[in-house]
């Protein structure tokens, strides 16, 4: 029996099992079994070098955004409009068959946008080109889930389920569970609060399923069985996701209003220009639309602003001593790609720079006063200006060439410290 059939069988068993206190342990075990099988499914087949027929493209720019969605929701149209890179768009499904990269120039930064083939239900099990699409989206910083506003809300759940099945967690933070495998000592189970979803026995059973008999587990929040499995598996990727509802030109204003009020959601239309949207409607939907540029497609400004916010990019401008800051070419940092401290900033410029830095002068939001003298651990914020002050070359105490003094003592004899007189 193949892995997919095994998963299907366990899922069927879970569906058959009633959920109550008595079956809780059994269901927990089944969940762990499924998680193990799914991890096996993601491993490259034995004997292969790992490089398959995926469509990975070279990383470029300061961040990477993947467009994920069902076929014909308007991903390629969106890529063409946002980046100017042409990607074939047509009214039939599966127009795009590979990964097409484009670049968005926004706020002095370059963001790589990837157009991907549409995925369908069962993508996580390898249907269509689902697995490759998901692999590419795992390599990006954020995911834009493009949805057709005129289709049912169920699409969003199906896609989320597909992504969850391969270990992607959207808009979630890692569970607050400390877990460490040990060599001896059995299992130590602790929690800092009362747990309502899991108890010691269930935790033991799940660890047993993974053949872990010595470990330390500390719950710092009221976590579920799924959270514990995620922590044990340890290969989950926590990503931000923006739900982009396209084609709002074909639905009523009430529906647009409802969609726009959902968290992490933006409503857009590639076919409609902002100017074509009636003024009255704009007023009603002011919370949902940014229609400041009448000739851009509807609400692209807000979409870009949301992407920018989710990426958390930090632009730092350098200022050479005695000169104006260079506002044309920022150093772009982010917490996900290496961090935003002064040390990361210096390493970004040159990896050997750090040992010459004495301190830095910072102007901007992160500084308490202008300029603030900061050390290497200071965390920079967007649009800060930084001047690096280097350590002085070691003072050689005057003299040149063969007259150079190697002593650190003051030059004048009268300034030198007197030695205590010898005791006779």
Ligand X SMILES: Nc1nc2c(ncn2[C@@H]2O[C@H](COP(=O)(O)OP(=O)(O)OP(=O)(O)O)[C@@H](O)[C@H]2O)c(=O)[nH]1
Q: Which residues bind ligand X (CB under 6 A)?
A: 69, 71-77, 89-91, 93-96, 117-118, 246-247, 249-250, 269-271
- Cβ at position 246, least distance to ligand X in Å: 5
Question: 36: which 2 tokens?
Answer: 């193990």
Stretch that binds Mg ion, among 70-78, 183-191, 245-253, 343-351 (CB under 5 A): 70-78
Using CB positions, name the residue nearest to ligand X: 118
Q: Which residues sit opposite 379 in a β-bridge?
A: 341
Binding residue count for Mg ion, defined by CB under 5 A: 4
C-beta neighbour count of 98 within 10 angstroms: 12
Residue reference for tokens 């009268």: 414
- Cβ at position 83, least distance to ligand X in Å: 13
Q: Does position 96 bind Mg ion by CB under 5 A?
A: yes
Question: 184: which 2 tokens?
Answer: 């001896």
**Nearest CB to ligand X, comparing residues 18 and 91:** 91
- Cβ at position 150, least distance to ligand X in Å: 8
- Cβ at position 90, least distance to Mg ion in Å: 8
d(Cα 244, Cα 289) in Å, to the nearest integer? 13
Q: Does position 72 bind Mg ion by CB under 5 A?
A: no
**Closest to 118 in 3D by CA, of 141, 88, 140:** 88
Q: Does position 80 bind Mg ion by CB under 5 A?
A: no
Enumerate residues 279-338 that contact Mg ion by CB under 5 A: none
**Closest to 323 in 3D by CA, of 385, 369, 368:** 385
3-state secondary structure string across 53-102: CCCCCCCCCCEEEEEEECCCCCHHHHHHHHHCCCCCCCCCCCCCCCCEEE
Cα distances from 310 to residues 9, 69, 135, 305, 315, in angstroms, run: 39, 19, 20, 9, 14
Q: Does position 124 bind Mg ion by CB under 5 A?
A: no
Q: Does position 95 bind Mg ion by CB under 5 A?
A: yes
**Closest to 142 in 3D by CA, of 57, 68, 83, 65:** 65
d(Cα 291, Cα 213) in Å, to the nearest integer? 59
Stretch that binds Mg ion, among 15-23, 73-81, 287-295, 371-379 (CB under 5 A): 73-81
**Nearest CB to ligand X, comparing residues 12 and 253:** 253
**Nearest CB to Mg ion, comparing residues 54 and 71:** 71
- Cβ at position 260, least distance to ligand X in Å: 15
**Nearest CB to ligand X, comparing residues 84 and 399:** 84
Q: Which residues sit opposite 269 in a β-bridge?
A: 298
**Nearest CB to ligand X, comparing residues 94 and 293:** 94
**Nearest CB to ligand X, comparing residues 129 and 378:** 129
The residues of the shown chain that bind Mg ion, judged by CB under 5 A, are 75-76, 95-96
């Amino acid at each position: 029996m193949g892995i997919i059939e095994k998963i299907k069988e366990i899922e069927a068993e879970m569906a058959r099992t009633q959920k109550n206190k008595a079956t809780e342990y059994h269901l927990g075990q089944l969940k762990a079994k499924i998680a193990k099988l799914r991890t096996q499914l993601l491993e490259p087949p034995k004997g292969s070098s790992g490089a398959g027929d995926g469509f990975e493209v070279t990383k470029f720019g300061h961040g990477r955004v993947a467009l994920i969605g069902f076929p014909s929701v308007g991903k390629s149209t969106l890529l063409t409009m946002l980046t100017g890179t042409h990607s074939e768009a047509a009214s039939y499904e599966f127009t795009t068959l590979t990964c097409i990269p484009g670049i968005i120039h926004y706020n002095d930064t370059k963001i790589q946008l990837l157009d991907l083939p549409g995925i369908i239900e069962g993508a996580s099990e390898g249907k269509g080109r689902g697995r490759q699409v998901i692999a590419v989206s795992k390599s990006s910083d954020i995911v834009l889930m493009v949805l057709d506003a005129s289709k049912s809300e169920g699409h969003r759940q199906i896609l989320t389920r597909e992504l969850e099945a391969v270990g992607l967690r959207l808009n979630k933070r890692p569970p607050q569970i400390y877990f460490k495998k040990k060599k001896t000592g059995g299992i130590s189970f602790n929690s800092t609060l009362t747990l309502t979803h899991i108890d010691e026995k269930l935790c033991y059973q799940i660890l047993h399923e993974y053949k872990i008999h010595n470990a330390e587990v500390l719950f710092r929040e009221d976590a579920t069985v799924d959270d514990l499995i995620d922590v044990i598996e340890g290969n989950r990727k926590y990503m931000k996701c923006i739900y982009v509802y396209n084609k709002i030109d074909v639905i009523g204003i009430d529906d647009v209003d409802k969609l726009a009020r959902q968290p992490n959601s933006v409503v857009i239309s590639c076919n409609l220009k902002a100017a074509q949207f009636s003024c009255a409607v704009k007023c009603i939907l002011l919370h949902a639309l940014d229609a400041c540029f009448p000739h851009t497609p509807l609400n692209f400004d807000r979409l870009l602003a949301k992407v920018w916010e989710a990426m958390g990019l930090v632009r730092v401008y350098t200022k050479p001593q005695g000169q104006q800051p260079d506002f044309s070419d920022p150093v772009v940092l982010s917490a996900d790609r290496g961090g935003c401290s002064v040390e990361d900033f210096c390493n970004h410029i040159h990896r050997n720079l750090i040992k010459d830095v004495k301190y830095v002068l910072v102007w901007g939001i992160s500084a308490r006063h202008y300029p603030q003298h900061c050390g290497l651990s200071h965390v920079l914020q967007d649009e800060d200006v930084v001047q690096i002050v280097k350590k002085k070359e070691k003072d050689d105490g005057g003299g040149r060439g063969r007259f150079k003094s190697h002593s650190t003592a003051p030059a004048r004899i009268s300034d030198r410290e007197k030695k205590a007189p010898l005791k006779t």
